[in-house]
């Protein structure tokens, strides 16, 4: 009688990724789903089972050899490789031998029962976290100490990361005897092979938690909201990230926390636009002010500057004020301020303005319309107004 092995799990489908996914894509998919279905976040019993499947899928796909077994149609977490029937068993239907089993036979990692990999540690490093922080231009230019609120996993104070209820301890797994692995004997074309697989009872840890901590449900960490203060250096730009070491997610079993990255987003300013360390603004001048010259008072980010507009200044001119931009991030001076001038030509003149221009035209024997078309109009009007 031919027996049928269970169908291998679709670990790619569990994480919602393609079979060509990279290691980084696998890790991102796992983190996203783990945060969604973690028991601390989602108390639904179905979510708890989903969380177990997500962990199993990540365990398989993040291991190159286990992933290859999956790609060959097997299941590295199932008894005997879980990839269907093959020759050599009773009635010609023995268990399928996966790629890992053949490698073990050649290199001795599992053959004859030697070379066991040992139990997996319960304590693992935590993931990094990222937080978006919006700041004004003045804050990014000169730096600020900004309060932030972080929602991450932290060490469970009830069990100090052990995952066990008060007064209880981890117990040795009865299935694997604390080895974290179970062995199975299979017939192959190479002969009899003894292969090792992670113990399903303890998930390869070698120990079990008889009484999980009621606060963290055995994970050794809980999610909480906490307040921090981040020091933003002067000169940071939009999109930059500030790294706060070990302020991210605490790892399973109370493992070392990952890092927290604070991503800077600069709010648009009402007056200034920024390009690197330089600032730009636009100022509109009357035609007469550009022609005769004037003095502007510009309010910069940290002071007021008097800027001279020389007589005869042409439309679309740019004035440069050195050292009034944004401080360099590395503390080497400051950028510059660029003032772009828009010269406004009046569409309707007052009676005094019209009389003044007509008198000016008469003294030159020229028509006002023709005069305005000539390139030297501004300089000649300046000379006339100055009595030359």
Q: Which residues are annotated as a binding site for Zn(2+)?
A: 156, 159, 173, 176, 199, 202, 213, 216
Q: Any idea what DSSP says for residue 96?
A: P
The CA-CA-CA angle for residues 343, 349, 355, to 5°, reads 120
For helices 23-37 and 45-61, give the axis angle rounded to 10 degrees: 160
Residue with tokens 């991030």: 329
Whether the CB-CB separation of 282 and 272 falls below 8 Å is answered with no
| Cα 343 → chain centroid | 45
Please choose, from the candidates 145, 320, 141, the residue with its C-alpha nearest in 3D space to the C-alpha of residue 234. 141
- Phi/psi at 65 (nearest 5 deg)? -70, -40
Residue with tokens 């030359």: 388
Going through the chain in order, the beta strands assigned E by DSSP cover 85-86, 94-95, 129-135, 144-155, 171-172, 181-188, 191-198, 207-208, 221-232, 241-244, 260-266, 273-275, 278-286, 294-299, 304-309, 318-321, 337-344
d(CA 19, CA 72): 12
d(CA 253, CA 311): 74
Annotated binding site: 156, 159, 173, 176, 199, 202, 213, 216
The CA-CA-CA angle for residues 151, 45, 124, to 5°, reads 50
Written as one string, the DSSP assignment of 319-346 is: EEETT-SPBPTTSS-B--EEEEEEEEPP
Please choose, from the candidates 316, 291, 80, 76, the residue with its C-alpha nearest in 3D space to the C-alpha of residue 188. 80
d(CA 341, CA 114): 82
Whether the CB-CB separation of 326 and 303 falls below 8 Å is answered with no
Q: Any idea what DSSP says for residue 383?
A: H
d(CA 60, CA 71): 11
């Amino acid at each position: 009688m031919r027996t049928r092995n269970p169908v291998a799990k679709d670990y790619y489908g569990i994480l919602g990724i393609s079979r060509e996914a990279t290691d980084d894509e696998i890790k991102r998919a796992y983190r996203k789903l783990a945060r969604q279905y973690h028991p601390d976040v989602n108390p639904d019993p179905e979510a708890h089972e989903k969380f177990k499947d997500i962990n199993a899928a990540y365990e398989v796909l993040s291991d190159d050899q286990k992933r290859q077994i999956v790609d060959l149609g097997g299941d590295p977490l199932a008894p005997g490789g879980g990839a269907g029937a093959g020759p050599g068993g009773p009635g010609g239907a023995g268990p399928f031998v996966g790629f890992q089993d053949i490698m073990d036979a050649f290199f001795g990692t599992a053959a004859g029962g030697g070379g066991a990999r040992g139990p997996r540690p319960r304590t693992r490093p935590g993931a990094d976290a990222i937080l978006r922080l919006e700041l004004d231009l003045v804050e990014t230019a000169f730096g600020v100490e900004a309060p932030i609120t972080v929602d991450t996993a932290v060490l469970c104070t009830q069990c100090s990361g052990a995952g066990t209820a008060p007064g209880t301890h981890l117990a040795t797994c009865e299935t694997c005897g604390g080895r974290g692995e179970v062995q199975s004997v299979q017939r192959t074309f190479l002969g009899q092979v003894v292969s090792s697989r992670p113990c399903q009872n303890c998930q390869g840890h070698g120990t079990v938690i008889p009484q999980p901590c009621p606060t963290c449900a055995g994970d050794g960490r809980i999610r909480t909201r906490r307040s921090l203060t981040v020091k933003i250096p002067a000169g940071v730009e939009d999109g930059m990230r500030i790294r706060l070491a070990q302020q991210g997610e605490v790892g399973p079993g109370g493992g070392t926390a990952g890092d927290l990255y604070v991503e800077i987003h600069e709010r648009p300013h009402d007056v200034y636009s920024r390009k690197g360390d330089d600032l730009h603004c636009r100022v509109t001048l009357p035609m007469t002010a550009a022609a005769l010259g004037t003095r502007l008072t510009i309010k910069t980010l940290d002071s007021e500057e008097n800027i001279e507009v020389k007589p005869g200044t042409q439309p679309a001119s740019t004035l440069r004020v050195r050292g009034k931009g944004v401080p360099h991030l590395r503390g080497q001076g400051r950028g510059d301020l660029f003032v772009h001038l828009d010269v406004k030509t009046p569409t309707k003149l007052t009676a005094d303005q019209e009389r003044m221009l007509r008198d000016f035209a008469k003294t030159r024997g020229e028509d006002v319309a023709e005069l305005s078309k000539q390139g030297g109009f501004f300089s000649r009007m300046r000379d006339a107004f100055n009595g030359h």
